[in-house]
Amino acid sequence: MTAQTITINIKIWRQAGPDARGNFEEHTLRELDVDMSLPEMLEVLNEQLTLQGKDPVAFDHDCLEGICGMCGAVVDGVAHGPEEKTTLCQLHLRHFHDNQTITIEPFRARAFPVIKDLVVDRSAFDRIIQAGGFVSVNTGAAPDGNVLPVARHLAEQAMDAAACSGCGACVAACPNAAAMLFVGAKISQLALLPQGRPERERRALAMVRAMDREGFGSCGNERECEAVCPKGISIRNIARLNREFLRASLAADETA
């Protein structure tokens, strides 16, 4: 059985460095296997560029299994591409038609400066986590799972929030480049569980302040973040973030 192949025309963003002027380059790739993922297609493009003596396209990837959140680009104006709940590395060429032209560019946000080509600096997310996205209380060895009873609906909500891989698609899709869905998910996964409640006020204040320092915009309830999230993170987590921040602000005012 012969594998089905496809021809793809690519308009791809090229930028030599953070301060360089970028532009789109056009390339045509022929006889691509329709089961190739987007990163695999970019590897074929890089082989072609290397043989031509040109600089290959820089792009992020790691596990290529839709888990780690490393890969990320905007495909035809949509973060991670047109398929719902799909990371870039799980977007396959069978979702496109023969001789289609696709445009690939980096996530664009002031807080995600371009390093080179499709690679952006997402370390702002790391600094938000460092500000409070953890439990710092030393509790010793892990207790038996049944020692701390947790309502099933709360455990499920916490696990849903914890699925956030920090890929940054929510920021790239938001008209204001807000990071509220990411921060809301990270706060929710701890605020919903007993282990995270002793530090809930400090965590909410610290993470929101870190988010603001990084230059992310404010949430406008456009729901674009939810629409492109490959893990299906709900904007209900943004509502919980707002409640946690308000609670923490009131508690801080009372103790001031």
pLDDT for the residue numbered 178: 98
State the chain's mean pLDDT as an integer: 94
The average pLDDT across 207-211 equals 98
Q: What is the pLDDT of residue 1?
A: 41
The winner for highest mean pLDDT among 63-67, 180-184, 197-201 is 180-184
The model's pTM is 0.93
Domains belonging to the chain, first-starting first, are 5-105 (3.10.20.30), 122-136+148-255 (1.10.1060.10)
Which pLDDT does position 2 carry in this prediction? Answer: 52
pLDDT value at 137 more than 90? no
Predicted confidence band of residue 3 (pLDDT cuts 50, 70, 90): low
pLDDT in tens, 142-181: 777 677 788 999 999 999 999 999 999 999 999 999 999 9
pLDDT at 256 over 70: no
Q: String of b and e for 111-139 (b: at least 16 CB within 10 Å)?
A: bbbbbbbbbbebebbeebeebbbeeeeee
10-14, 95-99, 202-206, 251-255: the lowest-pLDDT one: 251-255
Q: What is the pLDDT of residue 212?
A: 97
